[in-house]
A and B are shown apart, each in its own frame.
Chain A
Amino acid sequence: MTKVTNIVVAGLGGQGVLKGTDILADVALRAGYDVKKSEIKGMSQRGGSVTGEVRFGKHVFSPMVSAGEADYLLVFEPTQVDPHRYMLRPSGVLITPDNVPTDQLPNKKTLNVALLGALSAHLPMAEAQWLAALRAGFAETFFEGNHKAFLIGRLGQEAEARSPGL
């Protein structure tokens, strides 16, 4: 079986976790991969922890990421890092608001998109596919802000990857 990429997105209700997961899954679909996205709704809507999972590759079976097998863990809220760390594989990449220059964001609500930008620097999908998914996933009026936030996240992560010793 060819490699499947596993991504877990975690945060609290109202932080745009599910929206972020939607965009991520849409990008993978646009790039031609088999994609599965899993989320648990219900009680989590009342301010509790919210987790979304995306798996993509040539062929994906289970919609759920197994504990210790996430390649990427995207966490929107610092308190949610520890409860979700067990999902990450030992060599996996953790992306948190610390990876994004949050003070440069157009507004706080674009944090989820900035984190997707940071994630995008690690994934094979083209920038144009990300932008198409952002355009489709939000109302047109939000595109400019989201575009900016996405690039801030993406470029920041690329710079980090280039700088030695990090």
Chain B
Amino acid sequence: MNEPNRLLLSGDEAIALAARHAGVALGAGYPGTPSTEILEHFSELGGHAQWSPNEKVALEVTIGAAFGGARALCTMKHVGLNVASDPLFTAAYTGVTGALIVVSADDPGMASSQNEQDNRRYAVAAGVPMLEPSDSQEAYDFMFAAIEMSERWKIPVLFRVTTRVCHSYTVVQPRAANGAPRPPSFERDIRGRVMIPAYARPAHRRLRQKLTELQEWNETSPLNHIVEGGASLGIITSGISFMHVREAAPEARVLKLGFTHPLPMKKIAQFAKGVARCVAIEEGDPYLVEAIRATGIPVEGKADMYRFGELDVPRVRRILNNDLSPEPAKPPGKPPQLCDACQYRIVFESLRKQDCIVAGDIGCYTLGVLQPFEAIDSCVCMGASLGVGLGLRHVLPPDQARRVVSVIGDSTFVHSGISGLVEMVYNPPPNGHVLIILDNSTTAMTGHQEHPGTGRTLEHEPTGKVVLENLARSLGIRRVHVVEPRAATGEFERLLKDCLESNELAVIIARRPCILIAKQLKQYEEARCECDAPQPASVPAA
């Protein structure tokens, strides 16, 4: 058992290693648990990795790379694919020249997310093939398969993983690299890539033809396999659920699907026919159950109570036993909180004191909703603080409207708050509005990644910097304040009060680097001064 090249890798690390071994030329994404480590690891392995301002841009950049003939990797968490769905749907039409792998890291159970949407639905909606690994070895192997598939059918491939696949460490044996990628080169294909209606109509037909071929290929694909077992119980499953199934029902015959869109329906029908009882075990939505039943194959699913949260071995046992009794509640652990010395504490104390109605956003600072602050009134999605705050301002009676504040972090602001700021300027509420940008010079929640507002690349090297106050001023906002929130000075609170009472549009940038990385930030800054890096020509004119 002591093979020399056994590695214990997380699913994220395995994806990165495979991408490196398979010659992926460019990886782009936006940080998001549980996907963040893929690009970080890819970069550590020497790959070209970049953080984009958001997932939509990341996907567009990788579409461009794949149009240029390269192998490209785009990573994001499940909700990131909502942001990137616009390019995804049409990239399915255009197809790609090189390879394009889109990793969607779903978070059933919401370990660190605002919803538990099941992105297998996106494969169907966009019409792209989907692979679902169940451990790190498969994450590694399936990346090669995804690249081969993407190049053969010239189509983006959705690589769907979940928290337990991303963050569990399992043994991986790397293999020799597959065929070397072709050197990127531009080939003009106007009808294939310019999606005006006249060219998009045949493109849609081409897409459906590809999916028909892919489905046929999937019937005999090595990405699906059968674990032999008794004929009394057959289980159809995919992803991490397969692992729980093998333990909960070692006697069962199992059809383990790795290539889950378009589904190999003939294979599934044959499997179902060969067993007395056929059950589909899947986390989240009844994706397999609905698709299989729609073709007339009788298959049992899970009770609705198991749709919520992750599956595990005991829950799979319960599903198989049709056990609908209440599940034992897990004792609560200690909840997370804002760090003791976090500068945002002062901000939330001030918001609380002034009885503000706070449209919040996604990041560490969402913890301002918990005790002792309880100073956030909404949190919907990345960037929503702007729009939600403005909407409230427009309809609430003046005494309430004047207390509405939008609060957003620096990375989230760059991700999707900028359009909201433009909305604020374009459709200002009658009594103005106040935006607070909590600028701690990093993407703290996901583990301190860089973003365009830090002026450093994914590898912490100096690059063009979006200066938030300049950007706000360039939009014509007169009240733009930069302040360092400090305890006991009352400065922040006074400023907030002034802005609220001004009835004008105001942006307060509460700036102080995250205390958890203050030391590293200082080192980066010193390195920046020493090398006196020439500014790239593309520095934003903000």
Contact = CB atoms under 8 A, between A and B. Distances in A.
B449 to A, nearest CB: 13
Interface in B1-18: 1-2, 6, 8
Interface stretch (B163-171, B469-477, B525-533): B163-171
Given A33-B1, A36-B169, A62-B247, A47 B337 contact: yes
A40 to B, nearest CB: 5
Nearest to B314: A66
Nearest to A43: B336
B141 interface: no
A64 B337 contact: no
A67 B331 CA distance: 11
A29 B8 CA distance: 7
Interface in A7-51: 12-13, 25-26, 29, 32-49, 51
Contact of A35 (B8, B243, B247, B339): B8
Given A25-B8, A33-B1, A86-B331, A46 B171 contact: no
B293 to A, nearest CB: 27
A5 interface: no
B247 A61 contact: yes
Nearest to A59: B246
A83 B332 contact: yes
How many residues of A sit at the interface, in one of the four size bands?
35 or more
Contacts of A63: 135, 164, 168-170, 240, 243
Contacts of A42: 33-34, 111-112, 445
Contact of A43 (B6, B8, B112, B169): B112
B330 interface: yes
A35 B314 contact: no
A61 B242 CA distance: 8
Contact of A40 (B111, B171, B332, B337): B111
A143 B116 CA distance: 42
Contacts of B313: 62, 64, 66
A32 B2 CA distance: 5
B334 A38 contact: no
How many residues of B sit at the interface, in one of the four size bands?
35 or more
Contacts of A39: 167-168
A134 to B, nearest CB: 16
A110 to B, nearest CB: 23
Contacts, number: 112
Interface in B130-175: 135, 163-164, 167-171
Nearest to A10: B333
B244 interface: yes
Given A29-B8, A40-B163, A48 B334 contact: yes
A86 B331 CA distance: 8
A29 B171 contact: yes
Contacts of B2: 32
Nearest to B328: A67
A79 interface: yes
A129 to B, nearest CB: 11
A38 to B, nearest CB: 5
A26 B112 contact: no
A137 B145 CA distance: 33
Interface in A77-93: 79-80, 82-84, 86
Interface string B224-250: 000000000000000010011011001
A39 B33 CA distance: 13
Contacts of A61: 243-244, 246-247
Interface of A: 1, 12-13, 25-26, 29, 32-49, 51, 60-64, 66-67, 79-80, 82-84, 86
12 contacts: A29-B8, A37-B8, A38-B168, A39-B167, A42-B33, A46-B364, A48-B333, A51-B333, A63-B170, A63-B243, A64-B244, A67-B330
Interface of B: 1-2, 6, 8, 33-34, 111-112, 135, 163-164, 167-171, 240, 243-244, 246-247, 250, 312-314, 328, 330-339, 364, 367, 445, 447
Given A35-B8, A46-B339, A46-B364, 6 more contacts: A29-B8, A29-B171, A34-B171, A36-B169, A49-B333, A66-B312
